[in-house]
Amino acid sequence: MVEKELILKLIHLKQEGGYWDFKREWYTHSKKADLLHDIICMANNLESRDGYIIIGVDEGQDFSICGINSDRNRKSTANIVDFLREKKFAGGIRPTVSVETIEFDIFEVDVLIIHFDRHTPYYLTENYQGVFGNNIYTRVQDTNTPKNSSADIHHVEALWKRRFGLDANIFDRYLILLDEYDQWEHDFGNLKPAFHKILPEFRIEADELRSGWEPQGAYYLRPEMRFALIKLLYAGTTIYETGIMSVDGGSLYLPYPRRSGFMIFSSFFYDYYVLSELEGKLLKILTSGSLAYDFGMFKIHIHLFLIFHDDEERKRFESFVSEHYREIDTDLLKEHPRVSLALNQARQNGYDEGQILQVAVASELYSMWLQEESDL
């Protein structure tokens, strides 16, 4: 979600720049080629960040906000996505876009966001109304590459380097390579290092597993859990350290989740993965892309570890928890078959029943939040 303060700051600069542009009104039907060209240029911007086409600001009137409240050509995210889907992009990979509306007093301003990623350069393979196939367009300061030209060679090289992670430091290259979950060999159960199949100098080594406990263990048929530190290495140098844990008696390995907790009406916590962060990427590798921590015929039907695409999602969840925590009936939760079994495991093994119940509370709130998000 774009911040209103950022857009206002850009407007107050009273100039366009390398990742933002102003339009007085939405593109008309006759300006479809301009819309496509502007999106491609922003997707290939050289600032390595989201691009913004800010619609409802009149550059000719000292960058005053004029709004697009009654603009008949306004478009939604779905409209732009459908428009791009029809175009022949190289490799079938298209820019990710969204449209958000920001209110400034009585005026509405639409922001067409072209989200940053590393799939650059984006370019067409067929001509479209004067936007040429195989031409690579970018944006330098406040100027787009002309439709009948291609970007300077050193800018094209920079865009290709971004795709292959050659412009990134080693930690960021790790994040890029970890997205390739099917390119990693791993067998932590037998204490073998994981490595990238194409770039084996990127290796992950684990220490010896040691017994431990977390409340999620009680929800598996076999509550035994073991833990080990792991090191992410590049050419033998440690780049990052975290941990893995085996669950269900060693049937599955998962990265250490993060834990968040805050005082509401009692001590509330939840363990989670953010898929855009390193531990979230490791989760995808260790689950072969499924993100599943229950498997086979045995399904837990409890969200033991909450999964978010980014930290913005997680913050929305916490706001939801603050508003809906009172709605949870813990006595009713205890009757859930999996919760009841987990609590019995706790009594038999001397585990903390309160923490085990908190896992179920977090799961219930997460299910409610997912439903609300899908209804939006």
pLDDT in the model for residue 294: 67
Domains plus CATH for the chain?
Answer: 4-163 (3.30.950), 173-375 (no CATH)
pLDDT in the model for residue 263: 66
Q: Are 359 and 304 in contact (CB under 8 A)?
A: yes
Q: Are 132 and 108 in contact (CB under 8 A)?
A: no
CA distance 92 to 134: 13
Query: What is the spatial order of strands in the sheet that 51-55 belongs to?
Result: 20-23, 51-55, 107-114, 97-104
Residue 121: cis peptide before it, omega within 30 degrees of 0: yes
CA distance 293 to 201: 29
Would you state the structure tokens that stand for residue 241, as one six-digit string? 């350290």
Would you state the structure tokens that stand for residue 291, as one six-digit string? 């993100």
CA distance 369 to 373: 6
pLDDT in the model for residue 297: 42
- For β-strands 192-196 and 202-206, DSSP reports them as antiparallel
pLDDT in the model for residue 2: 83
pLDDT in the model for residue 86: 94
- CA 158-279-259 angle, 5° bins: 135
pLDDT in the model for residue 190: 83
If DSSP codes are grouped into helix, strand and coil, which group holds residue 253? strand
Whether the pTM exceeds 0.75: the reply is yes
Q: Are 51 and 111 in contact (CB under 8 A)?
A: no
pLDDT in the model for residue 37: 98
Query: Phi and psi (nearest 5°) for 79?
Result: -60, -45
Consecutive 10-residue averages of pLDDT for the chain (376 residues): 91 96 96 97 97 96 94 96 97 96 95 96 97 97 96 97 92 93 90 93 94 91 91 96 93 93 76 95 91 62 90 93 91 90 87 91 94 85
pLDDT in the model for residue 372: 92
Q: Which residues lie closer than 8 Å to 369 by C-beta, 6 or more apart?
A: 316, 317, 320, 321
If DSSP codes are grouped into helix, strand and coil, which group holds residue 250? helix
- Among 58, 54, 61, CA closest to 38: 54
pLDDT in the model for residue 147: 97
Contacts 24+ apart (CB under 8 A), 146-151: 147/33, 147/37, 151/44, 151/121
Q: Are 130 and 33 in contact (CB under 8 A)?
A: yes
DSSP symbols for 182-213 = GGEEEEGGGTEEEEESS-TTEEEEE---EEE-
